[in-house]
């Protein structure tokens, strides 16, 4: 195989599995090339992604060493993605009876979900979570895409426990929107005690669900190293959780006047003119 | 940029978005190169993926033309993936009280889900579905990964309708395992009438859920061009749906003797020694 062909092949393998450590020996064997030749290929791939600000190729030395691809974005790229999403969300036809907002089509677009997942992966990589945790149903697509971009297992809490889950831990929580007491459950097998977890959901009003998930994590002796939502509403101002991050803020949803206002959240807004990688 | 660098960059862009048509002009502009140069780069990438039997790079001519990456697998690669999954599934510790099987950890592994999604994408590409449709909750991860590999929107039916969905269509169906009458709903906005759809679920016993989804699609005037499940049980032999495909068959689950037998489904078994692309 020629250099350019090896580069195409190795790029494909790395990019298809972010954060996974591949051994240089395995590449050398697969492509019947010297390890030094593979190293040169990797240097070229690294330089390219660096120039394009579209990811890092990291070499890990030592016995368990190898190479992995880490998704990256510049602040500006990140802001652009979220700003484009805001434009998409601000369509008045999304307003549903009762002051709800139609979002199913976002969860329907794998390309968009992959972009969102990459943003969260970039943001939380330094916090080194060991699991991405969400609750059924609407949070699953963005949580899965984030887990994929971080090479982490996805854990999904259930609103009711099922016989196909084995023994479960259950907590009650107050849903912010309905103010009703709700239940969430997680199989004991799903999550190893003492792990670091990233909590995710698609939409947050008062934060009751994230608080419930936080309590559930406490039952598993897990520590929450990050909390992320795609969209938060500005009202109510007082949230039941602290130190979460959102990509988008829903400022106003006026059913009567068919008016809907969304904007990038403050930390996204800060990235607007940043050329450095986040 | 040097050729090898352009090749790394273009490979990344293509592979990250399977089945999406990129314009050659956009590549030429982004990399400040002649269109003929980009064409040569693409030929090299095409040859590489072809040699490795790991995908096709297809050029579409005409005004709306461009280039896209289509995931492919040889029969042998496909069989190996499913066989490895069977080994993983056959662990007796998966047996849960009541004769259920623990599967949450599969849905937890994004890399495994991506592999499974790619298998379904390869299998159903020729049927040209326009949507991937599943029902909450456990089917979502494999359905999303399949949708991603096919660049199709994902549609998720709900077991109960919610106010955040707008007006919905609801059907009743008989759940094969519990023999209870259940309900599934889908927002009218989620799916365009008259579309071609691929139905997916993670687990099938009698096929009641797939039959319910088929009926729901009828309400949307959509035609079902494929039905896919990850695992089916051999019992009951008589299923409520025909012409579905599964990757894995659960032959036996004996709670008392802690015995669990799984095997690749017949159409996977047929691929075992096939070197051609599926």
Which residue in B6, B31, B110 has the most chain A C-beta atoms within 10 A of its own C-beta, making it the best mutation to test that interface?
B110
- Using a CB-CB distance cutoff of 8 angstroms, which residues of chain A are in contact with residue B5? 44, 47-48, 51
Nearest chain A residue (CA) to B14: A12
Both tokens of residue B141? 């991860």
Residue pLDDT, tens place only, B123-173: 999 999 999 999 999 999 999 999 999 999 999 999 987 767 788 999 999
Q: Rounded CA gap, B105 and A190, in Å?
A: 7
Which one of 3.40.50.2020, 2.40.128.110, 3.40.190.10, 3.50.50.60 gives the CATH number of domain B75-269? 3.40.50.2020
Joined tokens for residue A273: 């003119």
Question: How does residue B99 score in pLDDT terms, banded at 50, 70 and 90?
Answer: confident
CB A172 within 8 A of CB A183: yes
Distance CA B118, CA B78 (A): 9
Where does chain B hold its CATH 1.10.10.10 domain(s)?
A: 3-70
Range A3-70: architecture per CATH: Orthogonal Bundle (1.10)
Compute the average pLDDT of residues A251-268. 93
Q: Which of B151, B150, B145, B130 is nearest to B230 (CA)?
A: B145
Distance from CA of B165 to the nearest CA of A (A): 6
Q: And the tokens for B236?
A: 């009951």
Smallest CA–CA distance from B158 into chain A, residue = A137
Q: Where are the beta strands (DSSP E) in chain B?
A: 56-60, 66-70, 95-96, 100-101, 131-135, 154-157, 168-174, 181-187, 196-204, 223-233, 245-254, 259-264
Q: What is the pLDDT of residue B161?
A: 73
Q: Which residue spans of chain B are classified as CATH 3.40.50.2020? A: 75-269
At A45-77, the pLDDT tens digits run 999 999 999 999 999 988 778 999 999 999 999
Q: Do A100 and B164 touch (CB under 8 A)?
A: yes
Task: Among A15, A97, A151, select the one facing B15 at the smallest CB separation.
Answer: A15
For residue B177, the model assigns a pLDDT of 63
Q: What is the pLDDT of residues A164-202, one digit of tens each?
A: 778 899 999 988 666 789 999 999 999 999 999 999 999
CA distance A263 to A271: 14
Query: What pLDDT does residue B121 have?
Result: 98
Band (B97; pLDDT cuts 50, 70, 90) = confident
The token duo for B233 is: 């049980």
Task: For chain A, say whether B49 makes contact (Cβ under 8 Å).
Answer: yes
pTM: 0.96
**Per-residue pLDDT tens for A7-49?**
999 999 999 999 999 999 999 999 999 999 999 999 999 999 9
Q: What is the pLDDT of residues A108-156, one digit of tens each?
A: 999 999 999 999 999 999 999 999 999 999 999 999 999 999 999 999 9
B residues 177-216 lying closer than 8 A (beta carbon) to A: 187, 189-190
Chain A, window 229-248: residues with a beta carbon less than 8 angstroms from a chain B beta carbon: none
On whether the CB atoms of residues B276 and B75 are closer than 8 A, the answer is yes
Among A252, A250, A215, A209, residue whose Cα is nearest residue A228: A209
């Amino acid at each position: 195989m020629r250099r350019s062909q090896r580069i195409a092949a190795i790029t494909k393998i790395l990019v298809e599995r972010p954060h996974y450590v591949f051994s240089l020996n395995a590449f050398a064997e697969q492509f019947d090339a010297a390890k030094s030749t593979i190293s040169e290929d990797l240097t070229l791939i690294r330089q390219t992604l660096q120039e394009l600000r579209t990811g890092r190729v990291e070499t890990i030395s030592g016995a368990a060493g190898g190479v992995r691809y880490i998704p990256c974005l510049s602040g500006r790229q990140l802001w652009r993605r979220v700003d484009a999403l805001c434009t998409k969300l601000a369509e008045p036809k999304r307003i549903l009876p009762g002051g709800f907002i139609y979002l199913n089509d976002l969860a329907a677009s794998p390309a968009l979900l992959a972009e969102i997942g990459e943003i969260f992966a970039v943001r939380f990589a330094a916090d080194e979570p060991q699991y991405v945790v969400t609750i059924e149903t609407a949070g699953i697509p963005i949580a899965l895409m984030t887990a994929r971009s971080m090479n982490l297992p996805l854990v999904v809490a259930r609103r009711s426990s099922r016989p196909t889950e084995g023994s479960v831990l259950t907590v009650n929580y107050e849903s912010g929107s309905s103010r009703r007491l709700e239940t969430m459950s997680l199989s004991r097998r799903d999550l190893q005690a003492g792990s670091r977890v990233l909590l995710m959901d698609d939409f947050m009003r008062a934060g009751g669900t994230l608080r419930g998930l936080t309590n559930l994590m406490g039952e598993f002796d897990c520590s929450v190293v990050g909390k992320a939502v795609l969209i938060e509403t500005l009202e109510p101002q007082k949230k039941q959780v602290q130190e979460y991050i959102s990509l988008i803020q829903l400022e106003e949803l006026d059913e009567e006047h068919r008016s809907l206002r969304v904007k990038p959240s403050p930390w996204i807004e800060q990235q607007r003119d940043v050329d450095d990688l986040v």
